[in-house]
Amino acid sequence: MWVAVKREGGSFRAACKVVPRLLLFMGWISFYNYFSGDPFAAFMESMVRCPIPEPIGPMGHQTCPKGASFFNGTCVPVGNRHKHWSLSAKCADKAFVMKKTASLNGMNQFVAAGLSLASVAVAGSIMDAFGRKPILVSALVVNVAVKLMLFGSCFLPWAGFAIVLMVQNVLMVMSMSPMYPAMNAMVADLTPDDESRRGTCYAAMEVVNHMMDVVAFLCGYPVLALHLADYRLFWGLLAVVGTLALVFFSVVLRETRTLGVASRCELPRTNTEESEKVVRMQTRVVTSRGCRIVFSGLGGGLCAVWNDGFLRQYFVIWAFVSVGINSTWGLAQMYAQSFLDLSPETASMSRALWHVSLTIGSMLSSPLIDRFGASDTLTLALFIMAWIVCLSTRAFGPDESASRHDDAKQQYHRQRSH
Q: What is the chain's pLDDT, residue by residue, as a tens digit (418 residues)?
A: 333 333 344 566 776 777 889 999 999 999 998 888 888 888 988 888 888 888 877 776 778 888 888 877 788 888 888 877 888 888 888 888 888 888 887 777 777 666 666 666 677 777 777 888 999 999 999 999 999 999 999 999 888 898 998 888 888 888 888 888 888 888 888 888 777 788 788 888 888 888 898 899 889 888 888 888 889 999 999 999 999 999 999 999 988 875 444 333 333 444 445 545 544 554 444 444 444 544 555 555 666 667 777 677 777 777 666 666 666 666 666 677 676 777 777 777 777 777 777 777 777 777 787 777 777 777 787 777 777 767 666 555 444 444 444 554 555 455 445 4
Is the pTM of the predicted complex or chain greater than 0.75? no
User: Nearest 5 degrees, angle CA 17-CA 18-CA 22?
Assistant: 105
Q: Count other Cβ atoms within 10 Å, centred on residue 387.
A: 10
CA separation for the pair 315, 320 (Å, rounded): 9
At 70 the pLDDT is 80
On whether the CB atoms of residues 104 and 153 are closer than 8 A, the answer is: no
| Helix, coil or strand: residue 283 | helix
| Helix, coil or strand: residue 408 | helix
On whether the CB atoms of residues 103 and 165 are closer than 8 A, the answer is: no
On whether the CB atoms of residues 10 and 366 are closer than 8 A, the answer is: yes
Question: What is the longest distance spanned by two Cα atoms in the chain?
Answer: 92
CA separation for the pair 353, 359 (Å, rounded): 10
| Helix, coil or strand: residue 37 | helix
At 243 the pLDDT is 96
On whether the CB atoms of residues 42 and 89 are closer than 8 A, the answer is: no
CA separation for the pair 173, 179 (Å, rounded): 10
CA separation for the pair 353, 368 (Å, rounded): 22
At 401 the pLDDT is 47
